[in-house]
Amino acid sequence: MRYIDEFRNINLIKKISEKIKVAAPSDNINIMEVCGTHTQSFFRFGLDEFLPRNLKLIAGPGCPVCVSAQEYIDNAIKLTQDKDNIILTFGDMLRIPGAMSTLEKERAKRGNVRVVYSALDALLFARRNLGKKIIFLAVGFETTAPTIALSIIRAKKENFKNLFFYSSLKLIPPAMGYLAKGRLNLSGFLCPGHVSCVTGTKSYEFIPQKYKIGCCITGFEPLDILEGVYFLIRQITNNKPCVQNQYMRVVTKQGNLKAKNKISEVFKVCDASWRGLGKIPQSGLKIKTEFSQFDAEKKFSFSCELRVTSYELRKCRCGDILKGLISPKECPLFSKACKPEYPVGPCMVSSEGACNAYYKYKK
């Protein structure tokens, strides 16, 4: 296939959905689509209507903004209180609720929060604002980590003195391992296509080996997702869990070696806190000592105080949604007190959040 409409051909979609129904066992099947973009595509194209009723697709923690720890959000908001700081962030972070405020509210109050589209923009801001401390909120998975690493490498070459990076970078495979041994009774994982471009298929091999749960890396078009589901169904019925690569036009076994080398040059793997999931060993990225002059955690004093947040007080269940324990529609606030225009919890804020996807396409 060469054109996007070929991946949305309704006749082919119907054919593969019939193959899924024929191949599917009669028992309940739980498949987690880890990536938030998969969740958006799944409901945008109404793919649930093409699957057997005993097959349940569960939204996973594949939204980097949603899984950023509460203390990270509060610390980012705290940084805005210094008039000599300029905070750079991706747009999805603006409305994530902190304990007392959001970056959006602080931007309106102080004017020192700016939205950027790339970590490399931080270098431009640092050059133009030599009298300010520029702090980039480094949020994301393996997909954004390479450009952030490259930005830090360039910052060192150019000897910047006023540029800092506050890392909340997360690694997807360890989180999948955490979920595999949980209480979801998962039958398979639809692995994230974008992340897998960097990591390659090899990074998931421990899941079928250790947990006997199949994995399939898929693209984001309707036929991609349904074919990925079909591959997983075949693994389940044959009792042969493995890692399959439906997204062969983009993903390789080893992944993007140049990108991985840049990540390993700048970052070291560390334990990380995930919203809803808690601390997961070896699931985050921390700036190495060689680049510590750009590490915001070294430059600024952050509080580890855990406070009850506004969304927790209002009974938002984002944490359970990120763990796959409930669907967004089971949260008592969904589409009532919590909507995209005035979100209560982070899962409704981001375009990759499960609540946002459910609200747009399943409300």
The answer to whether the CB of 31 falls within 8 A of the CB of 46 is no
pTM exceeding 0.75? yes
pLDDT (0 to 100) of residue 304: 55
Q: Please check the confidence at residue 312 and state whether its pLDDT lies above 80.
A: no
Dihedrals φ, ψ of 56, to 5°? -115, 125
- Beta-bridge mates of residue 87: 113, 135
Per-residue pLDDT of 12-37, as tens digits, reads 999 999 999 999 998 999 999 999 99
What angle (nearest 5°) sits at the alpha carbon of residue 205, between those of residues 204 and 210?
A: 110
Residue 305 has pLDDT above 80, yes or no: no
3-state secondary structure 270-336: EEEEECCCEEEEEEEEEECHHHHHHEHHHHCCCCCCCCCCHHHHCCCCHHHHHCCCCCHHHCCCECC
Superfamily in which the 1-310 domain is placed by CATH: HypD, alpha/beta domain 2 (3.40.50.11740)
pLDDT in tens, 251-295: 999 999 999 999 999 999 999 999 989 999 999 999 999 999 999
- Give the pLDDT band (50/70/90) at residue 85: very high
| CA-CA-CA-CA dihedral for 67, 280, 100, 307, to nearest 10 | 150
User: pLDDT at position 100, please?
Assistant: 84
What is the model's pLDDT at position 5?
A: 81
**What percentage of the chain reaches a pLDDT higher than 70?**
96
End-to-end CA, the chain? 33
Q: Quick one: average pLDDT of 49-62? A: 92
For residue 309, pLDDT over 70 is answered with no
pLDDT-based confidence at residue 6 (cuts at 50, 70, 90): confident
Give the position of tokens 């309704």.
10
Query: Judging by beta carbons within 10 Å of its beta carbon (0-12, 13-18, 19+), is residue 270 exposed, middle or buried?
Result: middle
Over residues 73-83, the mean pLDDT reads 94
Of 40, 37, 33, 36, whose CA–CA distance to 56 is shortest?
33
pLDDT tens column, 162-221:
999 999 999 999 999 999 987 789 999 999 999 999 999 999 999 999 999 999 999 999
The tokens describing 156, both together, are 């060192």
- Give Cα separations from 322 to 82, 130, 202, 329 (angstroms): 33, 40, 25, 13
Domain locations along the chain: 1-310, 311-362
